[in-house]
């Protein structure tokens, strides 16, 4: 990843550059974004500039020194950490790079949101908040020198101390601060530059981009696809009855409900074009899976159906049959996806 154009903006002399900074405060309201923005005085511009300059250099320097070679992200956010070269006990979060052509539906969701609801968002004046800063979700800061620009996205936590009575000193006099205060942390969770989103903190994807809502949609999509593909196969007379019963499908939904890690596994299957249909067309190969794996699902040849126990183990095994490298090589005779990502 090349941050040199950003480094050129962060040179030593701010006054010699035509630097502009915009700062937006974003809220979540009913799965949509609302933003507010203040006017910035010159001393505030200088402070924000210095804050992010120091933080970015610290983050990129420390991580590039401690991490193995960086790789572009594919299915976010399955891969989060690399090991420190010097100590396998210390995990350091790597900086992933999500691009418009990254595989996975979530990447497309991110880019749609970035362009339609963040970059092009028309903010309201900050005074309309009436000092209600507690529910700010994240800040979106764009820095430009007229040629290059980039945006830093940071999760926002309103400090408890700012909710209490605040005072200032004038000489030996303690006075109450009349206006409500707000602060910016020296953190970078996401950085958007040149159509790439650099992920410094993977948890921020969940909080900023409604990742849980996305996974709920993917869980429903998994169930809908399973029903629709079976119905099509029945209509085309390739099968005479459902391979998986409605009770089985309902249990799969129950298995994933409210659990992000389980929903990610269903999403992983959805992200492989045609994989579910190929699996349903080849369920007859389930008996080829070695007995040592103790499958809690079995193929019934007489009815061409699959019976499965309604247990988390059975659903995990079903998903492995759909996308694990080893299982797929047996069932479909084709390369699968590495189940260690799930």
| pLDDT tens, position by position, 188-246 | 999 888 888 888 887 788 788 888 888 899 999 999 999 999 999 999 999 999 999 99
What pLDDT, on the 0 to 100 scale, is given for residue 236?
95
Give the pLDDT score at 29. Answer: 79
Please tell me the predicted confidence (pLDDT) of residue 74: 35
Band of residue 78 on the pLDDT scale cut at 50, 70, 90: very low
Q: What is the pLDDT of residue 209?
A: 83
pTM for the model: 0.68
Which H helix or E strand runs over 167? strand 167-170
* Average pLDDT of every residue of the chain: 80
Split at pLDDT 50, 70, 90, the class of 140 is very high
**pLDDT tops 80 at residue 117:** yes
pLDDT surpasses 80 at 14: no
Percentage with pLDDT > 70 across the chain: 77
Evaluate whether 307 touches 264 at the Cβ level (below 8 Å). Answer: no
CA pair distance 327, 340, nearest whole angstrom: 13
Distance of CA 232 to the CA centre of its chain: 33
Contact present, 138 and 208 (Cβ < 8 Å): yes
Q: Does residue 314 have a pLDDT over 90?
A: yes
Question: Residue 340 burial (CB < 10 Å; 0-12/13-18/19+)?
Answer: exposed
Of the candidates 254, 252, 257, the one whose C-alpha atom is nearest the C-alpha of residue 322 is 252
CB 80 within 8 A of CB 93: yes
Token pair of 333, please? 């005779």
Residue 156's pLDDT band (cuts 50, 70, 90): confident
């Amino acid at each position: 990843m090349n941050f040199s154009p950003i480094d050129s903006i962060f040179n030593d002399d701010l006054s010699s550059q035509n630097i502009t900074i915009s700062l937006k405060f974003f809220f979540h309201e009913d799965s949509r974004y609302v933003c507010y923005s203040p006017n910035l005085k010159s001393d505030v511009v200088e402070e924000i500039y210095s804050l992010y300059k120091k933080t970015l250099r610290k983050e990129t320097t420390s991580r590039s020194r401690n991490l193995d070679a960086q790789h572009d992200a594919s299915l976010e956010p399955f891969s989060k950490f690399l090991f420190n070269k010097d100590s396998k006990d210390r995990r350091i979060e790597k900086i992933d790079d999500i691009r418009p052509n990254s595989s996975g539906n979530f990447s497309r969701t991110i880019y749609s949101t970035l362009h339609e609801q963040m970059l092009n968002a028309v903010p309201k004046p900050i005074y309309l908040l009436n000092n209600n800063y507690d529910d700010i979700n994240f800040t979106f800061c764009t820095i430009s020198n007229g040629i290059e620009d980039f945006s830093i996205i940071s999760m926002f936590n309103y400090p408890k101390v700012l909710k209490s009575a605040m005072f200032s000193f004038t000489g030996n006099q303690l006075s109450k601060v009349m206006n409500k205060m707000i602060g910016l942390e020296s953190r970078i969770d996401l950085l958007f530059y040149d159509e790439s989103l650099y992920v410094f903190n993977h948890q921020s994807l969940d909080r900023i981009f409604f990742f849980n809502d996305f996974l709920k949609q993917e869980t429903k999509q998994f169930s809908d696809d399973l029903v629709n593909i079976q119905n099509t196969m029945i209509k085309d007379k390739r099968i005479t009855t459902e391979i998986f019963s409605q009770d089985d499908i309902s249990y799969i939904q129950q298995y994933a409900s409210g659990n992000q890690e389980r929903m990610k596994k269903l999403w992983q299957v959805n992200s492989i074009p045609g994989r579910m249909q190929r699996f349903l067309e080849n369920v007859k190969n389930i008996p080829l899976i070695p007995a040592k794996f103790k499958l809690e699902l079995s193929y019934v040849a007489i009815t061409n159906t699959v019976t499965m126990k309604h247990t988390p183990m059975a659903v995990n095994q079903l998903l492995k049959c759909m996308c694990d490298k080893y299982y797929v090589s047996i069932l479909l005779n084709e390369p699968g996806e590495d189940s260690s990502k799930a």
